[in-house]
Structure 1
Amino acid sequence: MKDQILSFLKQLADKVKPSIDKGVHFGGHRLQVVLASIAGLYWNLSPQNRHRLRLAAFAFAILSMGIVLGRITNVNRNVKIEASDKALKVEKSGILELKLPGVKLNPEIYVFQDAEKVQVPVDIKVPGRLAFNAEKSKVLSARAPGRVERIYAFDGAEVNIGSPVVELYSPEFISAQQEYLLSSKTAKVLESSKTMSDLLGDARITQQAAANRMRNLGAGDGDIKSIETTGKTQANLVMRSPLKGVVVKRNVEPGSAVSSGDVIATLADPKQLWFLGNVFEQDFRLIKPGQKLVLQVEAYPDKEFVAYANYISPAIDPQTRALLIRADIPNDDDLLRPDMYASAKLTTGMADAIVVPQTAVVRIREMRYIIIKVGDEVYRRLPVKGYDLNNKTFAITDGVEPGSRILAEGAVLLNDRFAKQED
């Protein structure tokens, strides 16, 4: 069909063109011949194609009429485009002022509060880590050469004062027992003779010296009393825990040989920890013993641990350029672990500030902003300075005057309007 219509139009153009070129010379007779030719071409088409051609001609006529009417009615008049009612004013100080004519904020979403100055603690941040309290930790070490025969408490085992930890075979310990046993028997013999009181005193001194030697090797008072009562020496030395806590690290294996001074195990009390914090140079002058520290760890982001500084290093670390401070941390609920990273807030004094909820603060990169209401339909976004009091409140130290109407809830939503106008 498409090819037939195009062929028809081409034939029509071929017929019309000579007539246009020579129409001035031939007059009406020539025009009649052309029209007759066009009619012939039209009637040679099939009825269906003639119908389609009529539709195409009708559509072309309507399009032409629309173009003509558009030309006639175009008067080049100015079209008034109404500007937005919302206007944003930007000040050199970075303050933005937004007008929302006719816009009423939903009081259930946007909640305002009056700015009031109150006394708040002035804190500095102190990063650090937790560690075992060295005053509550002990190291078991071999006090004479020997061999490890048995281990009673492995890593992580809980021990009480006097609990056996390891058993050692030590020839020096056996020699000390025999010396004590001999001096004890000699003292008993001399006690029955009233004429040898001088020798009895010497025997008692020898007996006490032998007992002290056994204690220095790691024997307890119970071990010494057992030898005196039974009259028999022990084959091995049982080394016992000097505190209540856990075995933090074991350094020997059963059957291994140890020399005098070798570390056998490290014991500590997990209920008593230290916080070791680093205070930077600009804050040195603010630090004093006894100041309160409020610690937070990543494992318990909603929980705070309170401690008090009890040690300030007399020198700074030459590599970190920080001053070490220390505080005792009770761990009665067993939530904390040594080597946990912790962040502490150290209270250095009190200051005036305006306290707002965290929902009132708009955070854009390193800047902090709040929004205040200055009129029925006018709002301002102000840059402020301050710090987090906790996870729920923020202390504004500069940027807002008391009595201002601060947007406490919904600040992020209203800030989106500021951002759209700013763009």
Structure 2
Amino acid sequence: MKDKILSFLKHLTEKVKPILHKGADHGTHHVKVAAAGLAGLYWNLSPQNRYRVRLAAFAFAILSLGIVVGRVTNVNRAVKIEASDKALKVESSGILELKLPGVTLNPAIYVFQSAEKVQVPVDIKVPGRLAFNAEKSKVLSARAPGRVERIYAFDGAQVDIGSPIVEMYSPEFLSAQQEYLLSSKTAKVLEANKTMSDLLGDARITQQAAANRMRNLGAGEGDIKSIETTGKTTNNLIMRSPLKGVVVKRNVEPGSAVSLGDVIATLADPKQLWFLGNVFEQDFRMIKQGQKMVLRLEAYPEKEFIAYANYIAPTVDPQTRALLIRADVENTDDLLRPDMYASASLTTGTADAVVVPQSAIVRVRENRYAIIKVGPETFRRVPVKGYDLNSKSFAITEGVEQGWQVLAEGAVLLNDRFAKQED
């Protein structure tokens, strides 16, 4: 229906155009002729098309009437223009002041607290890593050439003092056993013959020397007593753990040949670790032995591990320009592992600061801000200085005074208004 009406109106327009183009210079006569032509054109239409023209004319009249009525009714209407809340004042110090006339902040979202200065620890950040305590670690090495026959403890195995680690064949160890066995037998014979007491002393010295040689090769006291008791030597030397801990790394395979000094395995106590941190030059003057260190690791973001500095390197690393600081770490819960990265907070003193939640601090690039309330509808964003006390609290050392109303919750939301005004 709509398409047919539009087609008819287009056809009607084309019929009228030649008449309209003749212009007003032809006078009223042509207007009347045009009107008569339109009337004739209308009555020449079929009844159905005349109905469509009337319908279109009626719709046009309704639309025109609506426009006229709308203009008449709105011409004298008072339009309420709300006051703009864009009232931002920028100070040379970087402080922004924002006025929000007629705006009431929702107290369930925007929570203010009164600033109170308290004593807080002054910390410096010390990046570093964990390592095995070298004083509680041992390297098991070959004390004589030989061949590995058997491995008792592989990587990660828990060992106690005296636990067998490897068994190896060593001709030198066989020679030391035979020497000890011979000197022991000689000493027993000379003990029976009291007339040869001078030779007995020499035999005892030889026996002791042979026993020390066996100890140097890795034999234990039990191995030496077994030879003396049984009167027999053993084919292989069993090397045992000198400490309680774990096998950190094994360097040999069964059947491999080893030379004097070759490392067989590395052992360490996993409950005794070191923190090795780097203190940079600007902080050298604030550190000393015995200071408390609080370690935090990415693996346990909610946990803190306490350590105390026990060593400060006498020289600066020429590559990093940092000073090595070391602390003993107790790993009683077996949560820590060597080579984990850790960040330590080293307490160097105390200072007055305003402690606020982390949610009160607005971070914009490298800068930190807090928002304070200075009037019922006036707020200021002030730059602050300070540091993280922990994952939940921030210590403001500069920028906020005692008694100021600090926005503790909702600071990021209100800062969006400051940002929009700045734009």
* TM-score of the aligned structures, taking structure 2 as reference length: 0.91
Q: Counterparts of 2:419 and 2:18 in 1: how far apart (Å)? A: 66
Counterpart in 1 of 2:91?
91
Counterpart in 2 of 1:342?
342
Deviation, 1:10, is 3.3
In the alignment, which of 10, 17, 26 is matched to residue 6 of structure 1?
A: 10
Deviation, 1:70, is 10
Deviation, 1:190, is 0.8
Counterpart in 2 of 1:351?
351
Counterpart in 2 of 1:169?
169
Deviation, 1:18, is 6.2
Cα separation, partners in 2 of 1:136 and 1:420, compared to 1, 3 Å: same
Q: Counterparts of 1:75 and 1:104 in 2: how far apart (Å)? A: 34
Q: Counterparts of 2:74 and 2:104 in 1: how far apart (Å)? A: 42
Q: Counterparts of 1:127 and 1:84 in 2: how far apart (Å)? A: 50
Q: Which moved more, 1:380-389 or 1:412-421?
A: 412-421
Q: Which moved more, 1:404-413 or 1:233-242?
A: 404-413
1:238 maps to 2:238: yes
Corresponding letter in the other structure for 1:10: E
1:309 maps to 2:309: yes
Counterpart in 1 of 2:188?
188
Q: Counterparts of 2:379 and 2:112 in 1: how far apart (Å)? A: 12
Corresponding letter in the other structure for 2:91: E
Deviation, 1:417, is 2.5
Cα separation, partners in 2 of 1:90 and 1:265, compared to 1, 3 Å: same
Q: Counterparts of 1:19 and 1:376 in 2: how far apart (Å)? A: 70
Corresponding letter in the other structure for 2:51: H
Q: Which moved more, 1:352-361 or 1:199-208?
A: 352-361
Counterpart in 2 of 1:330?
330
Q: Counterparts of 2:56 and 2:284 in 1: how far apart (Å)? A: 92
Q: Which moved more, 1:121-130 or 1:54-63?
A: 54-63
Cα separation, partners in 2 of 1:69 and 1:161, compared to 1, 3 Å: closer
Cα separation, partners in 2 of 1:270 and 1:69, compared to 1, 3 Å: closer
Cα separation, partners in 2 of 1:85 and 1:23, compared to 1, 3 Å: closer
1:320 maps to 2:320: yes
Q: Percent identity?
A: 80
* 1:221-275 Cα shifts (integer Å, max 9, x gaps): 0000000000000110000000000001111110110111100010000010000
Superposition pairs for residues 110-121 of structure 1, below 5 Å? 110-121=110-121
Counterpart in 1 of 2:275?
275
Cα separation, partners in 2 of 1:187 and 1:89, compared to 1, 3 Å: same
Corresponding letter in the other structure for 1:6: K
Corresponding letter in the other structure for 1:7: H
Counterpart in 2 of 1:373?
373
Q: Counterparts of 2:407 and 2:104 in 1: how far apart (Å)? A: 14
Q: Which moved more, 1:95-104 or 1:60-69?
A: 60-69
Cα separation, partners in 2 of 1:317 and 1:20, compared to 1, 3 Å: closer
Corresponding letter in the other structure for 1:123: D
* TM-score of the aligned structures, taking structure 1 as reference length: 0.91
Q: Counterparts of 2:311 and 2:332 in 1: how far apart (Å)? A: 22
Q: Which moved more, 1:31-40 or 1:411-420?
A: 31-40
Q: Counterparts of 1:283 and 1:248 in 2: how far apart (Å)? A: 35
Deviation, 1:6, is 3.4
Corresponding letter in the other structure for 1:158: Q
Q: Which moved more, 1:75-84 or 1:4-13?
A: 75-84
Counterpart in 1 of 2:197?
197
Q: Counterparts of 2:52 and 2:414 in 1: how far apart (Å)? A: 61
Deviation, 1:352, is 1.3
Number of residue pairs matched?
Answer: 419
Counterpart in 1 of 2:229?
229
Deviation, 1:192, is 1.4
C-alpha contact 1:144 1:261 (8 A) present in aligned 2: yes
Corresponding letter in the other structure for 2:174: I
Counterpart in 1 of 2:142?
142
C-alpha contact 1:218 1:237 (8 A) present in aligned 2: yes
- Per the alignment, in what secondary structure is the counterpart of residue 420 of structure 1? helix
Once superposed, what is the RMSD of the aligned Cα atoms? 2.7
Cα separation, partners in 2 of 1:347 and 1:69, compared to 1, 3 Å: closer
Q: Which moved more, 1:87-96 or 1:242-251?
A: 87-96
Superposition pairs for residues 145-164 of structure 1, below 5 Å? 145-164=145-164
C-alpha contact 1:295 1:304 (8 A) present in aligned 2: yes
Cα separation, partners in 2 of 1:199 and 1:370, compared to 1, 3 Å: same
Deviation, 1:117, is 1.5
For structure 1, the 5+ residue unaligned runs are: none
Counterpart in 2 of 1:412?
412
Deviation, 1:15, is 5.2
Deviation, 1:43, is 1.3
Cα separation, partners in 2 of 1:60 and 1:357, compared to 1, 3 Å: closer
Deviation, 1:112, is 2.0
Q: Which moved more, 1:279-288 or 1:30-39?
A: 30-39
Counterpart in 2 of 1:390?
390
Superposition pairs for residues 62-101 of structure 1, below 5 Å? 81-85=81-85, 87-101=87-101
* 1:387-423 Cα shifts (integer Å, max 9, x gaps): 0011111111111111111122222222222223333
- Per the alignment, in what secondary structure is the counterpart of residue 216 of structure 1? helix
Deviation, 1:53, is 1.9
Cα separation, partners in 2 of 1:3 and 1:111, compared to 1, 3 Å: closer
1:297 maps to 2:297: yes
Cα separation, partners in 2 of 1:46 and 1:294, compared to 1, 3 Å: same
Cα separation, partners in 2 of 1:53 and 1:296, compared to 1, 3 Å: same
